[in-house]
Amino acid sequence: MENPTIHHEYGYIQDDKVFLKGYLNFPDRQIGVVKESPEASIKYFERRFEIAQNKVNELERLISEAQNKGSYLMKLIHMRKYLSEFDGLGDFVALFDKLDKLEALLRNLIAANRIKNLEIKRALLSEITAIIQAPEFKDVTNEVRELKMKWIKTGSAPAEYEEELERSFNEGIKKFFELKKQFYKARAKAIKENLRNYRLIIEKAEQLKDSDDFEKAFEEFRELQKNWKTAGKIPHKKATKLWERFKNINDYFFQRYKNYKPYKEKYAELDALGIRNTEQKRLCYEAEKLVNSDKEGTAEIAKTLLMDWKKLSNTFKCLDEDIYNRFRNACDKIFEYNYLLRVVKRKYPNIELKPREDKLRIKTSFMRELIRRDEREYQLAETNIQKTLASAKTNASGNPNNKKKAKIEKEKMMQIRNMQNNLQVQKRKIQVKKTILADLEAELRSLKSGLRNKNVR
C-alpha cells in the first residue's frame, strides 16, 4: 500500500521523498528524503530555507552600505544560481523578486557610472595624446605613470566604447615609452659624438699649446674656441671636467702668448677683431629674437645661449654690463613664457588651432593665475624669513661664549641668507611674469582695437 501524499505550501512529501514545488520557470524537484518522520523533514527543510533567506538579506545589507555598489553585481548573479539549486521549503519567489529589484538598482548605477567613466577615460586619453604630441620625457614620465594608474582605477565605460578606449589608451602609453626609448637612444648617440668632438678639440689644443708659431697658433686657438661652442650638448659633469681641461690649455698658451707679445697690444688686437663685443651682441640678439615666441624648443636654445655666455665670460674679462642685463632679462622672459605655454597646453592641447584673440585671452588668464600663485608663495617665504630672523635674535641673547650655540647661530644666519637669495630670485621671476602679462595685454588691446576699427569701416 502506497503512502499518502503530504502537502505543504511550498512542497510535498510522496513515497518518503521530499519535493519542492515548481516556481517561476523551475519545475518540481526532489530536495531530500524522509528519515525520521514527515513532520521532522518538513521542519528541517523550512529551517534550511531560513539560511537562504538570511544570505539574501545579508547581500541586501552589504549593497546598501557599500560605496561601490556595482561591484556586488556578480555576487548577486551567483546568489541566483545558489537559490536555484538550494534545498529548502519556503517562498523562493519572494527571494528572487528581491534579487530582481537589487539587480535593477545595480544595473542602473553601473550604467550611470559607466557614463562618468566614459568622460574620465576620454579626458585621460586626451591628456596622453597631448603629451605624445609634445613629449618632455624627463618632466612628464611620472605624470604618464599616474595617468596609467588613474586609468586602471577607473571602471568600465559603456560596452560600445570600452574596447576602442582601451586600445587607444594602451597604444598611447606604448607609443610614449617607445618615443622615450628612441629619444634617449638618439641622445646617447649624440652625446657620444659630441664627446668625441670635444676630445678632438682638446687633443688639437694640446698639440698647439707649445707651438712657437704664436700668430698661427693664436688664430687656430680662436677657431678651436668657436668650434667648442658648437660641439654639442653633453652631461653637465662631463662638460665641466672637459671645459676645465680645455681652459687650462688655453690659459697655458695665452700666458705664453702674453709673454711673447705685450699684454695691452694683445688685447688691442682682440678688440680690433671685435671678438668680445661682437659675440656678446650676437648672443643678446639671438636671445631677444626668441622672447614671446610660441615655437617649441626656445627654452633649450636659451640654455645653450647661457652656456655660450658663460664660456665667453670665462674667456674674456670686462664684458659689457648693459648687454649682459639685456641678455639675462631676455633669457628670463624666454623661460617664464615657455613655462606659461607648457601650462596652457596641458589644459588646451590644441590651442594653436584657436583664433589669435582667444589664444591671447587664455594666455593672459593663465599668466595672472601664475602671478597670483607666485605672489602668495613670495609672501609666505617673506613671513618665514621674518619668523626665522626673530627666532635667531631671541636665541642670540644667550651666552655668547657658548661655542655650540654660536655654531648653530652661524648656520641659522646662512640659512636666512639662502632664503633671502631665493626670495630675490622669486621676486625677479614675478617681475618678469608681470612684464610678459603686460605685453600680452597690450597685444590683446591692439588686436581688439584693430578689429573694432575694421568693423567701423
Give Rg (Cα) of the chain. 39
Neighbour count for residue 406 (Cβ, 10 Å): 14
Domains of the chain, first to last: 6-114 (no CATH), 356-396+405-457 (1.10.287)
* Element at 439 (helix H, strand E): helix 403-456
pLDDT at position 446:
83
| Exposure on the CB side of residue 417, measured as CA atoms within 13 A | 6
CA atoms within 13 A on the CB side of 220: 19
Distances (CA, A) of 83 to 22, 31, 93, 299: 13, 13, 10, 68
d(CA 315, CA 324): 15
- Residue 1: pLDDT band by 50, 70, 90 thresholds? very low
Tally of CB atoms within 10 A around 137: 16
Residue found by looking up cell 712657437 in the block: 212
> Quick check: 311 pLDDT over 80?
no
More confident residue, 202 or 292: 202
Give per-residue pLDDT as tens, 265-284. Answer: 544 544 544 556 677 777 78
For 388-442, what is each residue's pLDDT tens digit?
777 766 665 555 556 666 667 777 777 777 887 888 888 888 888 888 888 888 8
Mean pLDDT across the chain: 82
Neighbours of 444 (CB within 10 A): 17
Q: 25-45, pLDDT tens digit by residue?
A: 999 999 999 988 999 999 999
* Helix axes of 214-229 and 298-315: crossing angle, nearest 10 degrees: 150
The CA distances from residue 46 to 31, 52, 88, 158, in Å, are 12, 10, 6, 43
- Give me the mean pLDDT over the 67-79 stretch: 88
- Measure CA 205 to chain center: 44
In this structure, the number of other CB atoms found within 10 A of the CB of residue 416 comes to 16
Residue 264: per-residue pLDDT = 45
Of residues 351 and 77, more confidently modeled: 77
Closest CA to 308 of 324, 322, 290: 324
Band the pLDDT of 99: cuts 50, 70, 90. Answer: very high
Task: Name residue, grid cell 595685454.
Answer: 441
Q: Is the pLDDT confidence value at 160 over 80?
A: yes
Q: For the whole model, what pTM was predicted?
A: 0.39
Most confidently modeled range among 98-102, 111-115, 299-303, 305-309 = 98-102
pLDDT-above-90 percentage for the chain: 21
